[in-house]
Homo-oligomer: A and B are copies of this chain.
């Protein structure tokens, strides 16, 4: 059920599916899925890794789709805002959402060696953090959960 990266899959297919889903959602919600936005999502889906804004920008730039930072950041903001992409705070980087079809609190496993990112979900507000929040009167709006470590591929290689 919950997708946990770190394994083989039909990549071309998953890229196409995700783009089609994004298309559909944007149509349904009257959002403008412009060429730049679409291409940025596609780049992230293709790489299947966390990428910095400037990495993305350099791809765009090579393709003549704009060469200044705001181009990338604006597209990323749109994609994050609408749940197509998540920001990885630890890395100041971005990765395509693995479950774009439903709302969720994402949680990530991030390989410190190869930067592969697996996304799963969490319902943290019911745990200890949620308890702390409610006893102190804190109103949680967003939760970041990111685990750093070594993915199966890299456990042998790196210390």
**Interface, chain A (partner B; CB < 8 A):** 2, 4-7, 89-90, 107, 109, 111-112, 118, 120-124, 127-129, 132-133, 135-152, 155
- Complex Cα distance, B151 from A138, in Å, reads 5
Give A142's nearest chain B residue, CB to CB: B148
- Are the C-beta atoms of A120 and B132 separated by less than 8 Å? yes
Give chain B residues whose Cβ lies under 8 Å from the Cβ of A120: 128-129, 132
- Complex Cα distance, B136 from A111, in Å, reads 12
Give A133's nearest chain B residue, CB to CB: B109
- Sorted nearest first, the 6 A-B pairs with minimum C-beta distance are A137-B152, A89-B89, A141-B149, A120-B132, A140-B149, A144-B146
